[in-house]
Amino acid sequence: MTSKPRPDPPSGDYVIYSLIDGPLGIAPDVGLAGASGRVRVIVPSLGFYPQKFHVELVKGSDHIYEITVDGKNTQDDRQLVYASNKEAQKWVITRYRDAYKIVKLNTSLLWTDPGRDSGDRRQIRLHPPANTSLGSLSDISPGQLFKFGVPPEQKLPSGNYRIYSLVSNQPLGIQAILGYRPDVPVVEPAQPRITSRADPVVVPVPGAAPQTFTVRQVNGSEDTYVITIDRKNTRDERNLVYAFENEPAQEWVITYRENQGAYTIVKMRTGGAWTDPRGFPNNLLGDSTLPEGEQIAIPDDEPDVPEGEGVEQPSVESAIGRRIPPPRFRRQIVLERLVRLERGPPPTFPQNQLFNFVAFDLPPRPE
C-alpha cells in the first residue's frame, strides 16, 4: 500500500519571506480595523521583526491551506491581502523550484510583493502570473514567489545579561552624569544641579567594569522586550539611547540573526536600531578631536545666570530654539536606520548594529 505523500509545506509556524526582499509582517489598517481587527499583510520596512504565520493544511486536501497571523485569518479584499477575525480564506500553496506560490483557491491570482518602487505601502496583493523570465531559473516573477522559513529558536529569554557590541567586543554600560534630562530644554534662570535622571548608554573605554542589563519579555509578544539597567528604563531621546529613572519603559524588538550569530535591537514600530558609533564618519560623531573611547559630558544648555541679572529667552538662532541635541558621549549608543547589507533570506547587517547577550546572574540587591 502506497503511503500518502507528506504535505509540502507541512502544517506549522513559519516566517514567510518574499523572494525579492525580506520577511512578511502585518500593519494596522488605519481607520478600518474596527471590530474586525483587520490588519494589512505587508513587506515591512527594515527593522520590523519577522512575523510568525501559521499554515494549516485543510483536512482531506493535498495543497489547500488556511494561513493565520497574530490569531487572525488571512483573506483578500479587492485583491489586497489582509488578516482579520473574519472566516478564513483558502489558499493553494504549491512548490515552484526552490520556493512556493500562494494562490487564491479556484482562481489564478497569486500573492504578489509589489516591490520597493510601489512606495511605502508594501501590502501583499493578488495578481495573475507575471511570467517574467529569469533565464533558466524561473518563468514567474520573483515577486510572486515566497520561502517558508522555520522561526529561529534563539528567542532571548527574560533575564540578566551583559550586552556586548560585536564591532567593539566591549560590554555596554551607563555613564552617570550630573545635569538635566536631555529632553527638557533649560530656560534660565537655571535650577540647581541634580543627579541626572538620564544616564547615557555607552560603549565604555576598554577595561571598564562590565555592567548588567535586565531584559524582560513583554507579555504576549515573542520578540518585544523592555531593557533596564540599575532600575532605570532605556529609551531614546533624539536618537540617543539613555537609561531614564522616571520615564516609562520603551519597547525594543530583539531579533536573532542566525547567519551572524548575534542580535539586532530595534525601537518598536520603527527602523531605528541600536548602533555602536565606532567607525562612523566624524561628522556623525560630533566632536572628533577626542581620543577613541573618551566621553564628553553633557553640559547645561545655558550657563547659570548671576543673581540679579535678567533672563534672556532663547532665540530661534540658539541651540535650544533650533532643538539641536545636546553634545553626546562620543561612544554613546545611537539609533540609526537598520542597514541591510545583503538581501536575504536571511539578510545580513553591519557589525556595529549587532550585539551579543551573555547571561549573568545579579547578586541580590538590598532594598
Q: Which of 121, 149, 177 is the last residue of a domain?
A: 149
Residue at 321 is within a domain: yes
Q: Is the same domain home to 219 and 107?
A: no
Task: State yes or no: pLDDT of 179 exceeds 60.
Answer: no
Q: Is the same domain home to 113 and 237?
A: no
Q: Is the same domain home to 51 and 186?
A: no
Instruction: Give the DSSP per-residue string, 300-355.
Output: PSSPPPPTT---PPPPTTSTTTTTPPPP--TTB-EEEE---SB--SSPB--GGG-E
Q: Is the same domain home to 22 and 79?
A: yes
Task: State yes or no: pLDDT of 47 exceeds 90.
Answer: no
Residue at 7 is within a domain: no
Q: Which residues of 295-324 are buried (b: 16+ CB within 10 A; e: fewer)?
A: bbebeebbeeeeeeeeeeebeeeeebeeee
Residue at 366 is within a domain: no
Q: Is the same domain home to 244 and 335?
A: yes
Q: Is the same domain home to 207 and 333?
A: yes
Report, as an integer, the average pLDDT of 215-229: 87
Domain count, the chain: 2
Residue at 240 is within a domain: yes
The domain containing residue 202 runs over which residues? Answer: 159-359
Residue at 40 is within a domain: yes
Model pTM score: 0.52
Highest mean pLDDT among 127-136, 251-260, 285-294, 302-311: 251-260
Q: Is the same domain home to 107 and 182?
A: no
Report, as an integer, the average pLDDT of 279-292: 37
pLDDT per residue over 256-267, tens digit each? 887 787 899 999
The more confidently predicted of residues 318 and 280 is 280
**Choice among 111-120, 121-130, 268-277, 281-290 with the minimum mean pLDDT:** 281-290
- Mean pLDDT (the chain) is 74
Q: Which of 82, 114, 149 is the last residue of a domain?
A: 149
C-alpha dihedral sign at 43, 45, 46, 51 = negative
Q: Is the same domain home to 41 and 132?
A: yes
Task: State yes or no: pLDDT of 142 exceeds 60.
Answer: yes
Q: Which of 149, 180, 207 is the last residue of a domain?
A: 149
Distance between CA atoms of 357 and 263, rounded to whole angstroms?
8
Residue at 5 is within a domain: no
Q: What is the CATH number of the domain that holds 352?
A: 2.80.10.50
CB-CB contact of 302 with 321 (8 Å): no
Q: Which residues of 56-76 are buried (b: 16+ CB within 10 A; e: fewer)?
A: ebeeeeebebbbbbeebbbbb
Nearest CA to 128 among 101, 149, 155?
Answer: 101
Residue at 251 is within a domain: yes
Share of the chain above pLDDT 90, in %: 29
CB-CB contact of 142 with 135 (8 Å): no
